[in-house]
Amino acid sequence: DAGVIQSPRHEVTEMGQEVTLRCKPISGHNSLFWYRQTMMRGLELLIYFNNNVPIDDSGMPEDRFSAKMPNASFSTLKIQPSEPRDSAVYFCASSFLRTQETQYFGPGTRLLVL
């Protein structure tokens, strides 16, 4: 299996621009997580999907952030408009959620907003 796939791996954009991050989870996994990692705040859960349905979006910072999962093999995280404080590494992770299953992380998207 190829593991969790994320694109792009790096993104540099200017403040105010729209940013779309993409994720393909491991085939057969029914749970998908978006995380943000910064030095200051560590790993933060942004949103959790189960069977393509958003279950918990309490970690989404504000209305500028939105996430979708149109099918079991694809998810997007969108930031519109982007701000410099959004600069971070964004990870997508997937798991087959029975009970507290381990999570498999993608390589991440390193986002820099100028």
Partner 1 sequence: GQQVMQIPQYQHVQEGEDFTTYCNSSTTLSNIQWYKQRPGGHPVFLIQLVKSGEVKKQKRLTFQFGEAKKNSSLHITATQTTDVGTYFCAGPGSGGSNYKLTFGKGTLLTVNP
Positions in the binding site for partner 1 (CB under 8 A):
31, 42-43, 45, 48, 50, 55-56, 91, 93, 97, 99-100, 102-108
The tokens for 74 are: 């694809």
Q: Determine the Cα–Cα distance for residues 46 and 56; give it in Å rounded to an integer.
A: 8
Q: Shortest Cβ distance from residue 82 to partner 1 (Å)?
A: 22
Q: Give least dist CB 20 to partner 1, A.
A: 20
Least separation in angstroms between residue 112's CB and partner 1 is 15
Burial class (CB in 10 A: 0-12, 13-18, 19+), 37: middle
Specify the residue, 15 or 112, whose C-beta has the smaller distance to partner 1. Answer: 112
The 3-state DSSP composition of the chain as helix, strand, coil percent (nearest 5) reads: 5, 55, 45
Instruction: Choose between 82 and 94: whose C-beta lies nearer to partner 1.
Output: 94
Whole-number minimum distance, CB 56 to partner 1, in Å? 7
Dist. CA 112–CA 114, nearest whole Å? 6
| Residue closer to partner 1 (CB basis): 69 or 93 | 93
SS3 92: strand
For partner 1, the closer of residues 31 and 80 by Cβ is 31
